[in-house]
Amino acid sequence: MTVLDTVAVDRTARKSRLRHYLMCPPTHFSVTYAINPWMNPDIPVNHDLAEIQWDVLRHTYLSLGHTVDLIDPEPGLPDMVFAANGGLVVGGRAYSAKFRYEQRQGESQAYRNWLKAAEIHAVDPIETNEGEGDFLTLGAMILAGSGFRTNISAHIEAAAAIDRPVVSLELVDPRFYHLDTCLAVLDDGNGAAPADIAYYPAAFSPHSQRTLRDLFPNAVICSEADALAFGLNAVSDGHHVVLPTAAIGLGEQLRGRGYNPVPVNLGELLKAGGSVKCCTLELHV
């Protein structure tokens, strides 16, 4: 078998699965405070463009056949567009978010209300955690980040709430302050293909780098340039990987593995330190 045959086998192995997402329109989006190194209130946001970019993302999901629910945006909560932080939802159970910074704390109740209306039982957290920003579901387990936003004690709380084992990973680079900025789940392992991830090693402590190497020896290793372009802030359905346009190298790596990269430009949202995945909470079945 030649290398090309291997690629051909991989390509046919990638299968998409229809997903259910929750998004929040960027009606009140702006950058009025700085709680991560990407945010600078002195740099203006083009609000109309942000709306268009977000809508392209929503339509991208719809055109791929996925379901997109919307939560009503609330005034005074400019980061509420980053729905991934609203909680962790797996198998009809949820673990609600408890935001680290005061500026975002009002979002917890808004997302809790949405879960309640959707009749998804949510466990209220004692520990600080920022939902899918720091909890990524993969097969039977959950990869969990700590170091900047989510407390490591929240990992234990989440494991009990969702009834899944949690693997704790320590983040060390403030530019990659949520797990979903430096690690992307490409295949969640719930279909025919094995679990597959991409990540940027230097964002993790040496111990966590070892954990990732042991668990995922064949992972896609993302370059610093593509990580800084938020390439890992991607959403995959197992075949299509929606990711920021600027992460060109990562897109090529994914294509070489049989994925179909779908680039979208969320440049205005990036001014708040967020992109594709941040705008998307997956309601995992």
The token pair at 46 is 């083009």
270, 81 contact by CB (below 8 A): no
- The CA distance from 55 to 23, in Å, is 10
- Considering the complex, state which of residue 103 and residue 245 has its C-beta at the smaller distance from ligand ARG: 103
The token pair at 263 is 């680039």
The SS3 call for residue 146 is: strand
Taking CB under 6 A as the binding criterion, the range among 31-39, 51-59, 196-204, 252-260 that sits at the site for ligand ARG is 31-39
Count CB atoms within 10 A of the CB of residue 113. Answer: 13
- Considering the complex, state which of residue 104 and residue 175 has its C-beta at the smaller distance from ligand ARG: 104
* Among positions 107, 157, 173, 180, the unique one binding ligand ARG when judged by CB under 6 A: 180
CB of 234 to ligand ARG, least distance (A): 12
Catalytic positions, written as ranges: 178, 278
CB of 85 to ligand ARG, least distance (A): 5
Distance of CA 109 to the CA centre of its chain: 20
* Among positions 24, 57, 66, 79, the unique one binding ligand ARG when judged by CB under 6 A: 79
Determine, following the binding rule CB under 6 A, whether residue 278 of this chain makes contact with ligand ARG.
Answer: yes
Determine, following the binding rule CB under 6 A, whether residue 84 of this chain makes contact with ligand ARG.
Answer: yes
Residue 114 is inside which H or E element, if any? helix 106-117
Determine, following the binding rule CB under 6 A, whether residue 274 of this chain makes contact with ligand ARG.
Answer: yes
- Considering the complex, state which of residue 4 and residue 43 has its C-beta at the smaller distance from ligand ARG: 43
Q: What angle do CA 111, 61, 273 make, to 5 degrees?
A: 55
- Considering the complex, state which of residue 87 and residue 274 has its C-beta at the smaller distance from ligand ARG: 274
- Considering the complex, state which of residue 14 and residue 53 has its C-beta at the smaller distance from ligand ARG: 53
Count CB atoms within 10 A of the CB of residue 31. Answer: 20
Determine, following the binding rule CB under 6 A, whether residue 137 of this chain makes contact with ligand ARG.
Answer: no
Determine, following the binding rule CB under 6 A, whether residue 175 of this chain makes contact with ligand ARG.
Answer: no
CB of 13 to ligand ARG, least distance (A): 29
Determine, following the binding rule CB under 6 A, whether residue 273 of this chain makes contact with ligand ARG.
Answer: yes
Determine, following the binding rule CB under 6 A, whether residue 250 of this chain makes contact with ligand ARG.
Answer: no
Binding mask 227-246 for ligand ARG (x = CB under 6 A): --------------------
The SS3 call for residue 158 is: helix
DSSP character for 150?
S
Q: What is the dihedral of CA 110, 91, 128, 173, to 10 degrees?
A: -110
- Considering the complex, state which of residue 35 and residue 195 has its C-beta at the smaller distance from ligand ARG: 35
Determine, following the binding rule CB under 6 A, whether residue 129 of this chain makes contact with ligand ARG.
Answer: no
Q: What is the dihedral of CA 90, 250, 170, 80, to 10 degrees?
A: -50
- The CA distance from 237 to 243, in Å, is 12
- The CA distance from 95 to 112, in Å, is 9
**Binding residues vs ligand ARG (CB under 6 A):** 35-36, 39, 79, 82, 84-85, 104, 133, 178, 180-181, 272-274, 278
